[in-house]
Amino acid sequence: MYNILICDDDRDIVSALDIYLTSEGYRTFKAFDGTEVLTLVEREDIHLILMDIMMPGLDGIRTTAKLREKCNIPIILLTAKSEDSDKVLGLNIGADDYITKPFNPIEVIARVKSQLRRYTTLGGRGVQEETSLLRNGGITMDDAAKSVTVDGESVSLTPIEYNILKLLISNPGRVFSTGQIYEQVWNDPSLGSENTVAVHIRHLREKIEIDPANPRYLKVVWGLGYKMEKL
């Protein structure tokens, strides 16, 4: 059973999400501000967090930043349509996805399942055993251990970052459009995905490149997409 933490200062929204998720067999925990989220993550084995951006006290953006200092639990932010800049900021600091209010219960469940699948099988708590190592230049990806090192130093990646890197390092030299990356990593249609992919690529560069502004590995091919430079 997966444990999902729901956080929103609107108790009606928390109650609605609780109904959706428990009906799918998930165990839920409830919080109403960022401070409660941090406490529950320390105390419970949380597998995914659904969290509102705009909350009094410790908001969703600052809570995400604090969580990313010590864990890679998937985080889906709940946002209003007017909060486009906050969506990008949330992705920049480590959120994995966002859902715009008012949300469709079917979309919520689909996004949750997608993130949990990615986390448990490809990013965080691996249950698939693979023996192959993926290498390019100074990057080594051990897909059995779900670990990445760059020049011998361990690098901590979120599940989304891990899967983008795995896609590109498995196909060195091949150019993937933002749509192709989104469809293969998020397993969702790519409509309007350009900014989301760009944010995660930028965040990934900050972790694996010596100089993210002049990347050695993750190259942009203007007008086409991204590729892993074959080294």
Q: Where are the domains of the chain?
A: 3-123, 133-228
What single DSSP character describes residue 176?
A: B
Strands 27-31 and 133-136, sheet pairing: unpaired
CATH class of 133-228: mainly alpha
What does the pLDDT look like over 99-117, one tens digit per residue? Answer: 988 888 898 999 999 888 8
**Separation CA 176–CA 198 (nearest Å):** 12
Q: What percent of the chain has pLDDT over 70?
A: 92
H or E element: which one contains 109? helix 105-118
Specify the fold of 3-123.
Answer: Rossmann fold (3.40.50)
pLDDT for the residue 79: 87
Interhelix angle 105-118/11-23, rounded to 10 degrees, is 70
**Separation CA 42–CA 212 (nearest Å):** 32
What does the pLDDT look like over 43-92, one tens digit per residue? Answer: 999 999 999 999 988 999 999 999 988 888 899 999 886 667 777 888 88
Q: Exposed, middle or buried, 192 (CB in 10 Å: 0-12/13-18/19+)? A: exposed
Q: Binning pLDDT at 50, 70 and 90, where does residue 228 land? A: very high
Beta strands in 47-177 (DSSP E): 48-52, 75-79, 97-100, 133-136, 139-142, 147-150, 153-155
What does the pLDDT look like over 128-165, one tens digit per residue? Answer: 333 468 899 999 998 878 889 999 899 999 889 999 99
Q: What residues form DSSP beta bridges with 28? A: 4
Q: Binning pLDDT at 50, 70 and 90, where does residue 121 land? A: low
